Structure 1
Amino acid sequence: MQSGTAQFHPIQNMPWGHNVLIAAGLVLATLILSRLSARALRHLLWRKDNQLPTSTIIVNIARVAIWATSGSIILDSCFGISANALVAALGIGGLAVSLGFQNTLSNLISGITITFTGLVKPGDDIEVGLVSGTVQDVTWRHTTIRNREGRTVIVPNAMIASSVLVRIPQANMVKIPISIPLDRTSHAEAGIDEFAGNLAEAVSRAVEPISSLEKEPRVIFSEITRDWITGSLILFIHAPERRAAATDAAVRAIASTLHEVSAKA
């Protein structure tokens, strides 16, 4: 009888060619799983009721995690290589590689930070340095922005994380400052609420022929003095390219409403 116990690994004791075939099969399975997971994540992230960021970087992180886990399993099961030992052996080399890829790692970390903190997400209108426009996507290395001329601008994630970020009004939002003499609101039966409702209704009728509205116009008051009430009228249109015409129509409707109220006074 032989003393001791001999460890037996069913895959490692197979012929080398069989291990290669098994590894190839696992790689193929990992590829399929990665694609299915990416498709499922995209479907989940682009749902209307989704509260998570819709950036591509989330999908990429999931795919990297799947491939890293699968690679560790393949190395250990088919070739007897421990992933932990491999990482330790490549520690010094990995440090040198990380220094060489310092900018890439900086952009990756910045991309993860701005995505999961909600600092920047697709659909936001922002201004970074001399670049302004609508965010299209946040990837592992850069953020894609479409400017007002329709051109695509690539901005490194590290620049967004370290620069002054300005949020600009959405392209389909029309915001009109208003100042109303306090005495004019007293002629409405329900006071300020009815007056604001009349303004919103008049603006809605004026803008609808130009562009349909995503939301009903809202009047938000921000300050009151002895003689004036100031605030803004805000509406969202479906055709951003007609924003100027919609603004003109809304201003004319507000002026007409104020004139009618003044005439009744």
Structure 2
Amino acid sequence: MDLKINDAWSKMLNRLTSWLDSLIVNLPNIILASVVFIIVLILSKYVTKLTWKLLKKSSLQKSMKNVIAKLLSVLVILTGLFFVLGILDLSKTLNTILAGAGVAGLAVGLALQGALANTFSGIVLSYIKHIKFGDWIESNDFSGEVIDIDLRAVTIKQPDNNLVYIPNKLVLENPIKNYSTTSQSRVILSCGVDYSSNLEFVRDLVIKTIESSFENVGTDKEIIFLYTEFGDSSINFETRFWITSTSSLEVLKAKTQAMIAIKKAFDANDINIPFPIRTLDLPKDFRKNI
């Protein structure tokens, strides 16, 4: 028993001595590797600041600038790590790390497909010039002002001041209506008048009312007035005109203003906007059966 203990103790001392000798021999490499790694960390911070300065005047979104700066910083650190492993003569360890990183990356990629899709979609959206901070957009049945674009979702503020977070993937894959890409928007208003109305007079009155209710309307682009159908209770028409606007909220306000003005004009000229009427045809002997 004592011999086994002595033998084990002797082997342990030999191993410790071997490690100590290796440490002493490789001490210059360890010191050099530590200095290189510290320099790499400092360099990565400098690269991040330099990237922010270079991208400050670019048209990229803030989130995209942050992503680029972080990616360059990580790239610098990984490059420095490879140098450190080379200085320490750990090429076999480097190969093992790369193989393990490949397997781990595959597993993580399969587990986070949705998150990675949103991340890459966020990067693409940051490059698209048709959607940026402050734009009024409509996407996935939500409309509002774009206040943020990150690697997960596009954040829009609705007219009721509520925030909606739409995953980047859905925004990229579905149609986007951007009211801010043009300086003008068209207002479309539908209504109906009584069958006894003078249709030419109604047309001229509506056009005159819209021209007097909005500035610059009808100067650059014509006000369109069209009768669309003979309805059940009215002759229906549609009028279209342009306003200076970059949001759907302004379009709704203009539509409300036009409705109020047209209703006042119709009331002043005894023009009736009929509501649906149902006529019941009863047999002559109806009351006898009661």
Q: What corresponds to 1:165 in structure 2? A: 175
Counterparts in 2 of 1:40-51, with a 5 A limit? 40-45=54-59
SS at match of 2:58: helix
Q: What corresponds to 1:234 in structure 2? A: 243
Per the TM alignment, residue 161 of structure 1 is displaced from its structure 2 partner at its CA by 2.7
1:133 maps to which of 133, 144, 153 = 144
User: Structure 1 165/14 Cα, relative in aligned 2: closer, same or farther at 3 Å?
Assistant: same
User: Structure 1 251/24 Cα, relative in aligned 2: closer, same or farther at 3 Å?
Assistant: farther
Is 2:61 the partner of 1:55? Answer: yes
Q: Is the 8 A contact 2:245 2:251 kept in 1?
A: no
User: Structure 1 107/30 Cα, relative in aligned 2: closer, same or farther at 3 Å?
Assistant: same
Q: Is the 8 A contact 1:174 1:247 kept in 2?
A: no
Q: Is the 8 A contact 2:146 2:156 kept in 1?
A: yes
2:166 maps to which of 155, 158, 172 = 155
The structure with the largest alpha-carbon Rg is 2
SS at match of 2:159: coil
Per the TM alignment, residue 22 of structure 1 is displaced from its structure 2 partner at its CA by 2.9
Q: What corresponds to 1:244 in structure 2? A: 253
Q: What corresponds to 1:17 in structure 2? A: 31
In structure 2, C-alpha distance between the alignment counterparts of 1:88 and 1:166, rounded to whole Å: 42
User: Structure 1 249/222 Cα, relative in aligned 2: closer, same or farther at 3 Å?
Assistant: closer
Per the TM alignment, residue 169 of structure 1 is displaced from its structure 2 partner at its CA by 4.0
In structure 1, C-alpha distance between the alignment counterparts of 2:107 and 2:27, rounded to whole Å: 36
More deviation, 17-26/80-89: 80-89
Counterparts in 2 of 1:213-224, with a 5 A limit? 219-221=220-222
User: Structure 1 247/87 Cα, relative in aligned 2: closer, same or farther at 3 Å?
Assistant: farther
Residues 49-90 of structure 1: per-residue CA shift (max 9 Å, x gap): xxxxx4234213322331233023201223317799544442
Counterparts in 2 of 1:10-159, with a 5 A limit? 14-45=28-59, 54-80=60-86, 85=95, 86-118=97-129, 120-159=131-170
In structure 2, C-alpha distance between the alignment counterparts of 1:246 and 1:142, rounded to whole Å: 32
Q: Is the 8 A contact 2:188 2:255 kept in 1?
A: no
Q: What corresponds to 1:261 in structure 2? A: none
In structure 1, C-alpha distance between the alignment counterparts of 2:138 and 2:156, rounded to whole Å: 10
TM-score by length of 1: 0.57
RMSD: 4.7
Q: Is the 8 A contact 2:154 2:167 kept in 1?
A: yes
Q: Is the 8 A contact 2:152 2:168 kept in 1?
A: yes
SS at match of 2:155: strand
Q: Is the 8 A contact 1:219 1:234 kept in 2?
A: no
Residue type at the aligned position of 2:108? V
Residues 114-167 of structure 1: per-residue CA shift (max 9 Å, x gap): 3434464323323333532111222122111111122322221122234x4352
User: Structure 1 247/39 Cα, relative in aligned 2: closer, same or farther at 3 Å?
Assistant: farther
More deviation, 127-136/99-108: 127-136
5+ residue gaps, structure 1: 1-11, 46-53, 186-198, 205-215, 257-265
Equivalenced residues, count: 209
Per the TM alignment, residue 105 of structure 1 is displaced from its structure 2 partner at its CA by 0.7
Q: Is the 8 A contact 2:122 2:149 kept in 1?
A: yes
User: Structure 1 14/151 Cα, relative in aligned 2: closer, same or farther at 3 Å?
Assistant: farther
Q: Is the 8 A contact 1:178 1:233 kept in 2?
A: no
Per the TM alignment, residue 203 of structure 1 is displaced from its structure 2 partner at its CA by 3.7
